[in-house]
């Protein structure tokens, strides 16, 4: 990371270097003299530091620039001992991060390496014609990277993964961890399976890291709530060893999240997953 950018980040005195407000972005641009794209590219090493590539040893960083002007970091996550489909890609991490903050559009996705087909298909679920992918050496639209794409419209789904109507799952409790998981389940996007699901992980310092299910028309690039919640643990500068409680809430449906979520968590933490099906 350039020294001027490193100093600019220190001056901001951020609690966590994973989300930047429009004001913070403007301050960084003023201090460093970097334009929008070059500043975003310069922040990618910060995202890469938050990766957990236990299988590939290949760190990928990504940054999602939302329509609100906020910037969201993302990093890849791999789970040692489990099949590769348990991996979380950096682009998914960044977009899921933005989703957790209520973003409804993503203008750009900035990434250290060209997105794989899995990620291109996942980004297509945003259902945004003008989404731009920024790489260190080039700048292209998603339509250029994924021509003749299959997406939600082909299955009769309007909108996209960031514009889903809220769910109506309910559970009588005052437990803040269950309520956090319930909130994420109701905010999740599951138009193909109807299996709304949310996860909440309590860390040893009292922070709650959340995740929600984000489904895909091609099915396999779907992002599980446990993957997203674990990604949040890493992005917030913690490790899975600091998890003290784990809760998942999911809707009754033809598919279930529990077994995969529990298996993933078990490889990274001794904490058992408490699960509610509503």
Task: Give the CATH number, domain containing residue 262.
Answer: 3.40.140.10
Q: Which domain holds residue 208?
A: 176-277
Average pLDDT for residues 206-232, to the nearest whole number? Answer: 96
74 and 91 in contact (C-beta within 8 Å)? yes
Together in a domain, 134 and 249: no
- Does residue 88 sit within a domain? yes
246 and 272 in contact (C-beta within 8 Å)? yes
Whether the per-residue pLDDT at 48 is higher than 80: the answer is: yes
Together in a domain, 55 and 136: yes
pTM: 0.94
Together in a domain, 182 and 81: no
Beta bridge partners of 187: none
Whether the per-residue pLDDT at 17 is higher than 90: the answer is: no
- Does residue 218 sit within a domain? yes
* Spatial CB neighbours of 218, under 8 Å, sequence gap ≥ 6: 121, 150
Q: Which pLDDT does position 1 carry in this prediction?
A: 46
The separation between CA 12 and the C-alpha centre of its own chain, rounded to angstroms, equals 24
Together in a domain, 229 and 121: no
- Does residue 5 sit within a domain? no
Q: Tell me the catalytic residues.
A: 91
86 and 61 in contact (C-beta within 8 Å)? no
Instruction: Provide the H-helix boundaries in 125-201.
Output: 142-145, 176-187
Together in a domain, 33 and 134: yes
Number of domains in the chain: 2
Q: Which pLDDT does position 9 carry in this prediction?
A: 79
**DSSP summary character for residue 206:** S
Average pLDDT for residues 90-105, to the nearest whole number? Answer: 97
- Does residue 260 sit within a domain? yes
* Spatial CB neighbours of 147, under 8 Å, sequence gap ≥ 6: none
At residue 15 the predicted structure's pLDDT band, cuts being 50, 70 and 90, is: low
- Name the residue with higher pLDDT: 86 or 15: 86
At residue 13 the predicted structure's pLDDT band, cuts being 50, 70 and 90, is: low
Average pLDDT for residues 135-149, to the nearest whole number? Answer: 92
R_g (Cα) of the chain, nearest Å: 18
Together in a domain, 40 and 124: yes
Together in a domain, 139 and 217: no
């Amino acid at each position: 990371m350039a020294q001027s950018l490193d100093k600019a980040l220190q001056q901001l005195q951020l609690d966590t270097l994973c989300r930047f407000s429009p004001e913070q972005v403007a301050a960084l641009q003023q201090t460093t003299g970097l334009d929008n794209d070059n500043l975003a590219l310069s922040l990618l090493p910060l995202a890469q530091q938050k990766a957990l590539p236990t299988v590939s040893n290949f760190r990928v960083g990504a940054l999602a620039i939302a329509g609100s002007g906020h910037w969201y970091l993302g990093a890849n996550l791999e789970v040692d001992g489990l099949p590769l489909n348990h991996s979380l890609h950096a682009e998914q991490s960044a977009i899921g991060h933005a989703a957790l903050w209520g973003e409804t559009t993503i203008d750009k996705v900035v990434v250290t390496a060209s997105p794989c087909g899995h990620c291109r298909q996942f980004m297509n679920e945003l259902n945004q014609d003008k989404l731009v992918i920024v790489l260190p050496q080039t700048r292209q639209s998603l339509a250029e990277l994924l021509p003749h794409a299959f997406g939600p419209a082909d299955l009769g789904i309007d909108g996209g993964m960031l514009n889903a109507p809220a769910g109506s799952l309910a559970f009588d409790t005052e437990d803040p961890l269950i309520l956090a998981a319930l909130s994420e389940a109701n905010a999740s996007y599951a138009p193909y399976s109807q299996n709304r699901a949310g996860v909440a992980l309590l860390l040893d310092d009292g922070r709650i890291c959340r995740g929600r299910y984000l489904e895909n028309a091609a099915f396999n690039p779907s992002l599980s709530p446990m993957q997203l919640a674990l990604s949040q643990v890493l992005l917030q500068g913690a490790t899975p060893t600091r998890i003290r409680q784990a809760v998942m809430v999911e809707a009754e449906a033809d598919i279930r999240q529990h077994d995969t979520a529990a298996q993933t968590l078990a490889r990274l933490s001794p904490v058992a997953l408490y699960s509610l099906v509503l």
